[in-house]
Amino acid sequence: MAAAINILRGVVLTLPWLIWVFIVDFIVSLLSPFLPIVPDICYNISSALAESGWYWIQLIFTRANGAIITVSGDVLPHGESAVIVANHVMWCDFYMIQELAVRAGMLGRCRYFAKTQLKWVPFLGWGLWALGMPMVSRRWDKDKRELDRVFSGIVYRKWPTWLVSFSEATRYTPGKHAASVKWCAEHDRPQPQHLLYPRTKGFVTTVQHLRKATHVKAVYDLTIAYQKGDQFHCPPSMWETLSVPDITKSEGYRFHVHARRFPLSELPTTDDGLAKWLETCWVEKGNWLEEKRLEWLTSVAE
Ligand SMILES: *[C@@H]1O[C@H](CO)[C@@H](O)[C@H](O)[C@H]1NC(C)=O
């Protein structure tokens, strides 16, 4: 019975939102022919539309379904453009990033690296492309044109942006973790705890390009952690985030996002230096996650 009520609840909460997303998608797609003529206006309109959709789903999760997201670390400056790297556990990671983006007034300016296959999802893929999401295959020679498209808006038109990349390229699973451990052992690299070894190529390319954009001032490293009961790294499914009431208090889910801000001017300038920087960042991120796990473990035992 409770399950049936949750399904109904999820549908009632999600359906109006989905309809709005389709409308937004439609308008954003209609804007794309005007993009070369009035690029800044198009970017502002599509950002405002995107913000409405993203804020709405954030409210479903946090207000309607009672998710309590804990934030820690550096306070991110209001309205600042940045390159953002985060670990990837589940679909719902975007709520954690949005929580910070709302506080920094940058929700409408979030642009995520997405898989190129998404371009072929009818309707939705178009909208993502028109919004200026970089759609990459992760074969960097092939992605050059796409990156030039996205970076030129940021570099030459100075569009405010949070450019978000999940540097592990894929979601965390025990199987992928085992593969990462093996790869790190073979290549003499440190394996970060609770994480996959990051892909450095995309990060290096992004930072080297966006250095030319004077308004992009920093790299933010976001660490996302979940707990359910006494289980670490155990996030809810997307459907649960939309349908389950009181997801923190009655279901025992915990959500945490930890932010660190690094001025771009303090990062290494060489490609190798940047790759090494990201590696160190991931090792520190892993240590932070282990501390969080222990802290949560003790608090559950109490
Ligand atoms: C777009 O929005 C930004 C910031 O909100 C503003 O500074 C800029 O003037 C806007 N551009 C246009 C063409 O409306």
Domain ranges for the chain, please list them.
2-301
Atom of ligand 1 nearest to the CA of 38: 13
Quick one: average pLDDT of 53-57? Answer: 97
User: Per-residue confidence at 118, pLDDT binned at 50, 70, 90?
Assistant: confident
Atom of ligand 1 nearest to the CA of 44: 1
Is pLDDT at 117 greater than 80 in this prediction?
Answer: yes
Residue minimizing CA distance to atom 3 of ligand 1: 44
Q: What is the pLDDT of residues 267-280, one digit of tens each?
A: 999 999 999 999 99
Residue 101: per-residue pLDDT? 98
Residue 119: per-residue pLDDT? 81
Beta bridge partners of 72: 258
User: Per-residue confidence at 4, pLDDT binned at 50, 70, 90?
Assistant: confident
Looking at every residue in the chain, the average pLDDT score rounds to 93
Contact (Cβ atoms closer than 8 angstroms) between residue 295 and residue 302: no
Output helix, strand, coil percentages for the chain, rounded to the nearest 5: 55, 15, 30
Tell me the CA–centroid distance for residue 239 and ligand 1, in Å. 36
Is pLDDT at 106 greater than 90 in this prediction?
Answer: yes
Quick one: average pLDDT of 223-247? Answer: 94
Q: How many of the other CB atoms lie within 10 Å of CB of 247?
A: 23
Is pLDDT at 104 greater than 80 in this prediction?
Answer: yes
Tell me the CA–centroid distance for residue 100 and ligand 1, in Å. 22
Residue 105: per-residue pLDDT? 98
Residue 126: per-residue pLDDT? 81
* Domain 2-301 falls under CATH 3.40.1130: yes
- List alpha helices for 32-166, DSSP H: 39-59, 93-103, 124-131, 144-155
Tell me the CA–centroid distance for residue 51 and ligand 1, in Å. 15
Question: Left, alpha or beta for 233 (phi > 0: left; psi -120 to 50: alpha)?
Answer: left
Single pTM value for the model: 0.94
Is pLDDT at 32 greater than 90 in this prediction?
Answer: no
Is pLDDT at 147 greater than 90 in this prediction?
Answer: no
Is pLDDT at 247 greater than 80 in this prediction?
Answer: yes
Three-class SS of residue 246?
coil
Tell me the CA–centroid distance for residue 106 and ligand 1, in Å. 13
Ligand 1 site residues (CB inside 6 A) read: 40-41, 44
Residue minimizing CA distance to atom 6 of ligand 1: 44
Atom of ligand 1 nearest to the CA of 43: 1
Tell me the CA–centroid distance for residue 40 and ligand 1, in Å. 7
Residue 2: per-residue pLDDT? 75
